[in-house]
A and B are shown apart, each in its own frame.
Chain A
Amino acid sequence: MPVLINKEVLEKCQAGDREGFRALFEAYRERVYGIALYFAGDTASAKDVAQEVFLKLFTCIKQYRGDASFDTWLYRLVVNCCIDERRKRRRFLPLDFLLGRTSMERDAATEHNHLRVEISDVVQLAVQKLKPKLRVPIILRYVEELSYEQIAAVLGCSQGTVASRLNRAHRALARRLGHLLDRTASGRTASEKSHVV
């Protein structure tokens, strides 16, 4: 896990310095927003969640004592915040839901209609449909590129548990989207053949 900010910036933030906050925000905004988007499902909600995370971070950064790495501490905060927000939002029924689809699904469907759908978009949608327990390790592993050990530290569980959850998540993805790989493989074979010919 690359260290994005130094001790000085952290100390500035803990002292309530606005420039320190800005540096912290610029260093982590993509990571925080990325996780939030995978959790919330649409950009508007993701922005809300990410904003909530940063506000929380700025108010409770004094509590960071340096026992764990700052990144681990931040990821834990982000994950907890996302889960809390999801819990809060579960009490609300988005009107999109009444129409049967989320905005991302509509976007994907539109793209599909234009035959421009990319495999990463479809995988992203499938990941969003996983249970949070399986979704978090997948996001931390493949979006944030953390090791099993780091994921275990963020989630506060054993590496065995992380391995088990990732295993279940991989199998769920394969069951839902395995056909895409077959299509990609056959497409590739066809194009290779055309090159040969």
Chain B
Amino acid sequence: MWSRHIRRELSAYCEGELQEELTHRLRDHIRICRRCRKQHEEVSRGVLLARHLRRPLCELTWSEIEQALLNPRQRVTPGRAYLSLRSRTLIATACLFVVIGYSLFHYFASGKNVDLDRYLTQVESSEPDLARQQIADAPPGFKDADEYAALRAAGIAAEPPLVGYTLIRHRIGNVAGKEVSQLVYRGSNNSFAVFVAPHAVPFSFGKREIGSTTLDGIRCQHVSCTYTSALVFSAARFHCVLVSKSKDYKELAAIVRYFLSAHKASEGS
């Protein structure tokens, strides 16, 4: 405590502002306390430096003050160039708008549809052994969800399971505020994925060509892929994309028919 007290009073001690008794006590303490002695040296140097300060010559004249008294808003001194707070705020706001605009552009450009371009590219380029895994992968924005929730979002919750296949992955993606399901089924020889979205949410396949086709009497569209079957079909208030490595049209037609009937049943109920 005493040591702290000394340090606080060192400036006053150096400048002779302390009472005589306290000055003696401080002097005695500085002799025996190394830390205080060191600080005393530092403060003494500071005092020596501060004593070099001098009052500057005044450049202000009475006429200037008189002029300002007559016109209080007028500054007699030349104005300095300032970057005002308003300018800085404007610059900051402009930057903020650019960032927000860029983000919104990306959100609306890429977030309004279900982009399956990259997903299809991966499935196309995969080796036959890895095809099952690639089909089961999730496109960007899709997350694992509860099975019932995914089926309900796909509009087929009430339908019995597809015979010969097991539902192994069930995901939901949120696109433009609407839920899109990805259901991945595995059979004994084949795996496939079905993406189910409301009609309001379109699918995007990049620059791939889309053509019309009839699959065992069912009208649908096919997306041009060399090693993969990608079929787009409409089912009640949904439209779906079936992605499979299989080229067996009967098998694909059976899957499409299952979804059509499931949606029809769902609509009816």
Contacts and interface: CB of A to CB of B under 8 A. Distances in A.
Interface of A: 21-22, 25-26, 29-31, 33-34, 37, 43-48, 50-51, 54-55, 58, 91-96, 98, 119-120, 123-124, 126-127, 138-139, 141-144, 147-148, 160, 163-164, 166-167, 169-175, 177-178, 180-181
A142 B53 contact: yes
A34 B56 contact: yes
Interface stretch (B3-11, B176-184, B187-195, B260-268): B3-11
Given A143-B55, A171-B42, A92 B85 contact: yes
A47 B76 contact: yes
Contacts of B48: 181
Given A50-B60, A160-B8, A171 B46 contact: yes
B59 interface: yes
B-side interface size class: 35 or more
B45 interface: yes
A177 B51 CA distance: 13
A47 B64 contact: yes
Contacts of A123: 49-50, 52-53
Contact of B53 (A46, A127, A164): A127
B82 A95 contact: yes
A167 B56 contact: no
B10, B80, B88 pick with most chain A CB within 10 angstroms: B80
Contacts of B84: 91-92
A94 B83 CA distance: 6
B80 A174 contact: no
Contacts of A92: 82-85
The 4 closest A-B pairs by CB, nearest first: A170-B46, A174-B46, A174-B45, A92-B82
Interface stretch (B65-73, B111-119, B249-257): B65-73
5 contacts: A54-B68, A92-B84, A95-B82, A166-B11, A167-B9
Contacts of A127: 50, 53
A44 B77 contact: yes
B267 to A, nearest CB: 65
Contacts of A22: 62
B80 A45 contact: yes
Nearest to B42: A174
A141 B84 CA distance: 35
Contacts of A172: 46
A33 B43 contact: no
A16 B100 CA distance: 58
Contacts of A21: 65, 69
Nearest to A139: B53
B54, B60, B83 pick with most chain A CB within 10 angstroms: B60
B52 to A, nearest CB: 4
Given A34-B56, A163-B11, A93 B50 contact: no
A181 B49 CA distance: 8
Contacts of A143: 53-55
B82 A44 contact: no
B49 A25 contact: no
Contact of A33 (B7, B60, B83): B60
Contacts of A175: 42
B81 interface: yes
Contacts of B39: 171
A147 B12 CA distance: 10
